[in-house]
Structure 1
Amino acid sequence: MKFQSTDDYVATDDLTIAVNAAVTLERPLLVKGEPGTGKTELARQVSQSLGLRMIEWNVKSTTRAQQGLYEYDAVSRLRDSQLGEERVHDVKNYIRKGKLWQAFEAGEKVVLLIDEVDKADIEFPNDLLQELDKMEFFVYETGETISARHRPIVIITSNNEKELPDAFLRRCFFHYIRFPDPETLRKIVEVHHPGIKDALLTTALTQFYEIREQAGLKKKPSTSEVLDWLKLLLAEDMTAADLKSSGTNALPKLHGALLKNEQDVHLFERLAFMARSGR
């Protein structure tokens, strides 16, 4: 069971090695990187490449670790008892299975994605240590222990918004997805936009990397944003000459796909003004 690049996803050699190492060690794969570099998509592609079903747990700021195991609806049970419902006698009717429970009870090996773990409270990762390590947990309401029938491939993503606990990191295999170099980005673009003209792609990527490297930029555009930008350029039937007509340091064509806040837009407007004034 080896992961490799798919028709829809270009995986670098170090990323491929990281995924397969985590699978071999049966450790969660912790993937970090700037937003838009394909961390979430990686889990989907691992699922596709290995022919496994994926269970996705999207973490929010209000998410608690317990929700991944199960939730007991005591309010509904109290209401049903007042109404004389028969189902009230079986507590299992009031237990909602979480994503970890679903992955543990699956009849086959699955990919479990825990997406954006750093969004939750700092205690969230620590609260999952035992379950991810031993692949089991105890249900107090029923007195049963839920153990994984088949150990899932666990992929955990983080945007590096906060530090994760050392005890949690020790249990993971770690990989940082670096922003792709121009050659790798070309391959990614060709997967999503096959047949794009070389002159347009070369000019667009040159402008894109110049934008990313601009000093003072608050938010660097990501892989997903350059793909959106190229989609718009193709839809508008733009050429390399059209892009070059923007001029040095001017706002790029359809810049709203790349620059996502007014501070960065103003930065490029000032640069364009200074470039014109210097002529």
Structure 2
Amino acid sequence: MQFKGTERYVATGDLSMAVNAAVTLQRPLLIKGEPGTGKTMLAEEVAQALGKPLLRWHVKSTTKAQQGLYEYDAVSRLRDSQLGEEKVNDIKNYIRKGMLWQAFDSEEQVVLLIDEIDKADIEFPNDLLVELDKMEFSVYETGERIVAKHRPIIIITSNNEKELPDAFLRRCFFHYIQFPDRDTMEAIVKVHYPDLQHNLVKEALEIFFEIRSVNGLKKKPSTSELIDWLKLLMADNIPADVLKQGGNTNAVPLLHGALLKNEQDIHMLERLAFMARRAQR
């Protein structure tokens, strides 16, 4: 079965091709792109489209690769031994399966999302090389050898906060999600708000892309922020003509807190608005 996007997710031809290529090659799919471009949501929609269960492993700065395999709770075992618990005799009672182990152990093929891998330590990707390549690992405490029953479809996201090691990149199929053009963005908006007035969408997209085109913004608004902004415009019943009057190239748009996320960018647009007013005198 080929992935072509879903009713909730607009996938470009290049993105669909990347997903299907990674599945065919049985390689992890490494997805990069601006925050808010739907990298995490992609895994959810691939799982839905292919009819597979989804497992999520959200990586943090403190996450270690070993946690994806398993964790041995030696402290609980020591405490239980002091209390005379019988279960201390079986060390398996103190081993907690990680997401990779759960994916390997599943009776059916699953989609495994490793989200924001670049948040972790630089050694994190290298520590998973063998497991992602050979689809097996050993449990030191019990001597078990865990082998994947079905090779999971692995989708790895990165916000490019750190460079990933070459050895890790070699084992992945890579795709960078380009920021959507106007037509694609309009299709995305239509998926989320099919009943939204065309004039309002047109004017909102005009303002959105004008803001993104301003040089020097610390953080350009993303797709998810556009969706939030449109939700607010709908909630306040703001018509397209009012939006047009309040938000042109040189002005801070209405309800700009959904689009602009720091004071430097707001001040920059305010200065542009001031300079534009002076030029018109």
Q: TM-score range by the shorter chain?
A: over 0.9
| Counterpart secondary structure, 1:52 | coil
Structure 1 contact 44–54 (Cα < 8 Å) conserved = yes
The size of the alignment, in residue pairs, is 279
Deviation, structure 1 residue 200: 1.0
* CA distance in structure 2 between the partners assigned to 1:265 and 1:89 by the alignment: 62
| Counterpart secondary structure, 1:169 | helix
Aligned twin of 1:68: 68
Quote the RMSD (CA, aligned, Å): 0.7
Kindly report which structure 2 residues correspond to 1:60-139, keeping only aligned pairs within 5 A, or say none: 60-139=60-139
Deviates more, 1:70-79 or 1:240-249: 240-249
Kindly report which structure 2 residues correspond to 1:147-158, keeping only aligned pairs within 5 A, or say none: 147-158=147-158
Structure 1 contact 248–275 (Cα < 8 Å) conserved = no
Structure 2 contact 211–249 (Cα < 8 Å) conserved = no
Gapped regions of structure 1 (runs ≥ 5): none
| Counterpart secondary structure, 1:278 | helix
Deviation, structure 1 residue 197: 1.3
Structure 2 contact 182–205 (Cα < 8 Å) conserved = yes
User: What whole-Å deviation, never above 9, does each CA across 1:30-85 have from its counterpart, x for those lacking one?
Assistant: 00001000000000000000010000000000000000000001111111111111
Structure 1 contact 22–28 (Cα < 8 Å) conserved = yes
Aligned twin of 1:273: 274
Aligned twin of 2:38: 38
Kindly report which structure 2 residues correspond to 1:141-220, keeping only aligned pairs within 5 A, or say none: 141-220=141-220
* CA distance in structure 2 between the partners assigned to 1:5 and 1:69 by the alignment: 31
User: What whole-Å deviation, never above 9, does each CA across 1:251-272 have from its counterpart, x for those lacking one?
Assistant: 0011000000000011011111
Deviation, structure 1 residue 234: 1.1
Deviation, structure 1 residue 248: 4.0
Deviation, structure 1 residue 8: 0.5
| Counterpart secondary structure, 1:107 | coil
| Counterpart secondary structure, 1:79 | helix
* CA distance in structure 1 between the partners assigned to 2:49 and 2:256 by the alignment: 35
Residues 1:250 and 2:254 are matched in the alignment: no
* CA distance in structure 1 between the partners assigned to 2:230 and 2:80 by the alignment: 56
* CA distance in structure 2 between the partners assigned to 1:151 and 1:248 by the alignment: 50
> AA paired with 1:188?
I
User: What whole-Å deviation, never above 9, does each CA across 1:80-139 have from its counterpart, x for those lacking one?
Assistant: 111111000000000011000000000100000000000000000000000000000000
* CA distance in structure 1 between the partners assigned to 2:70 and 2:86 by the alignment: 22
> AA paired with 2:190?
E
Structure 2 contact 28–155 (Cα < 8 Å) conserved = yes
Aligned twin of 1:262: 263
Gapped regions of structure 2 (runs ≥ 5): none
Runs of 4 or more, structure 1, over 4 Å off, are: none
Structure 2 contact 210–249 (Cα < 8 Å) conserved = no
| Counterpart secondary structure, 1:137 | strand
TM-score (normalizing by structure 2): 0.98
Structure 1 contact 15–175 (Cα < 8 Å) conserved = yes
* CA distance in structure 1 between the partners assigned to 2:229 and 2:7 by the alignment: 21
Percent pairwise identity: 72
User: What whole-Å deviation, never above 9, does each CA across 1:188-209 have from its counterpart, x for those lacking one?
Assistant: 0000000211111111101100
